[in-house]
Amino acid sequence: MKYRRMNFRKWNEVFAAGALISALALCGCDSATRANNAAESANAQSPDYVAPDSKGVQTTVAKSSRIPEYLDLPGHVDVDPTRVVRVYPPAGGRITEMKVRPSDHVMKGQTLAILESSDLSRAVADYHKALADYEVKQKAFDRAEDLFAHHAIAEKDYQQAQADAKMSDEELAATKEQIRVLGMDPDHAATQLHVDAPRAGVVLDVGAASGEFSNALSAPAPLATVADITEVWAIGDIYEKDLVAAKKGGPAQVTMNAYPGKTWQGTVGVVSDAVDPNTHTLHVRVILPNPGELLKPAMFGSIRLLRSSRQGILVPASAVIREGNDAYIFVGKGNNRFDRRSVTLGRTFDGSIEIVKGLNDGDTVVSEGALLLREAAGD
């Protein structure tokens, strides 16, 4: 009986010790759980960022605005055909001198070429012959008029002299006009024919050289081609499904490969009425002012047309920080503190980037100096 009491006492001591150990273990587990939860909560909160030197940090307010959607077309520069003149000599002859070269600028009336022309010589001879005949017939008419007034000749003789004078006058006018058409003064005409520019512009091409013989209007090529390029066309092809963007009279922006960063503002002038059956495109012509004549025929570039617009948020491209495939911005929280926020980017527009997700209208964002921000020290 004594032996059983001693065992029972030891059992109680062992049980009490085990219960104490279990209680301590449970307390330790609970403390560890609370510590882990606190750490996870701390990690879930985005840390604050501050600027060590606020001089290099600039902010702006993100605002919702209309974002344009553009259609870009490849294009090239062409000359307005109504501003191009192909100059042919008005009479045949041998070219003694070409006075211009391609790319020369000429004024209206400036001599392009000089020819020795037998056609001009014949026209001058005809004029002098008609002038002499006119003088004779006019004197005969004056005498007949005086005699008829004194009843010295018959009326039919007077009428014949009057008709002869009129015919000689008309012949003289015709030969005089022929010389004027050739670009010469009838009273100071010579055998040299001067071919002058009919308008001011730039010489696009020269089709003859000194010493060649020109057959006037039957020549295979003009002596020179002169064009006014103070206003030109930008021509592009647009698919029929995008035709809504090409509205006659609508605005258009044109850039040239030759002038990076420079933009010309133009107006849609013509959209062709026929669709190309092979490409299903239409020609679009944009009218462009060309001050300084920087735009040259056949230059390549791009035509940008406004397709539509929609509401969205744009921020300066300098506000976006990229890390691999991720992008983020810094949003102001007040008291010179900023929150780093992941964003989803849209399209780029002239130095600005559309924020599709992650930013609200009215948020203050760091536009310059985002890389100067550092994580704030814990309080």
Structure tokens at 252: 């258009």
**Tens digits of residue pLDDT in 226-267:** 999 999 999 999 998 888 888 888 999 999 999 998 999 999
CATH number of the structural domain spanning residue 316? 2.40.420.20
- Are 64 and 133 in the same domain? no
Return the higher-pLDDT residue of 41 and 218. 218
pLDDT score, position 37: 45
- Are 92 and 212 in the same domain? yes
**Tens digits of residue pLDDT in 6-58:** 444 443 444 444 444 444 444 444 444 443 444 344 334 557 777 666 677 88
Q: Could you tell me if residue 337 is inside a domain?
A: yes
Q: Could you tell me if residue 159 is inside a domain?
A: yes
* Region of 161 on the Ramachandran plot (φ > 0 left; ψ -120 to 50 alpha; else beta): alpha
Average pLDDT of the segment spanning 368-376: 76
Last residue of a domain, one of 163, 196, 227: 227
Give the whole-number percent of the chain exceeding pLDDT 90. 36
Give φ, ψ of 344 to 5 degrees. Answer: -105, 125
Nearest of 244, 359, 254, 354 to residue 301 by alpha carbon: 254
Instruction: Provide the domain limits for residue 57.
Output: 48-70+311-375
pLDDT score, position 279: 87
Q: Could you tell me if residue 221 is inside a domain?
A: yes
Domain total in the chain: 2
Note the residue count of the chain.
379
Nearest of 103, 97, 99 to residue 111 by alpha carbon: 99
Average pLDDT of the segment spanning 348-356: 84
Q: Could you tell me if residue 128 is inside a domain?
A: yes
Give the whole-number percent of the chain exceeding pLDDT 70. 84
Least confident of 60-69, 86-95, 292-301, 368-377: 368-377
Highest mean pLDDT out of 204-218, 251-265, 269-283: 251-265
- Are 87 and 212 in the same domain? yes
Average pLDDT of the segment spanning 296-304: 94
Last residue of a domain, one of 173, 200, 227: 227
Helical segments of 77-154, H only: 118-149
Banded model confidence at residue 160, pLDDT cuts 50, 70, 90: very high
Last residue of a domain, one of 205, 227, 249: 227
Residue 78 pLDDT more than 70? yes
CATH number of the structural domain spanning residue 194? 2.40.50.100
Helix, strand, coil share (%) of the chain residues, nearest 5 = 35, 40, 30
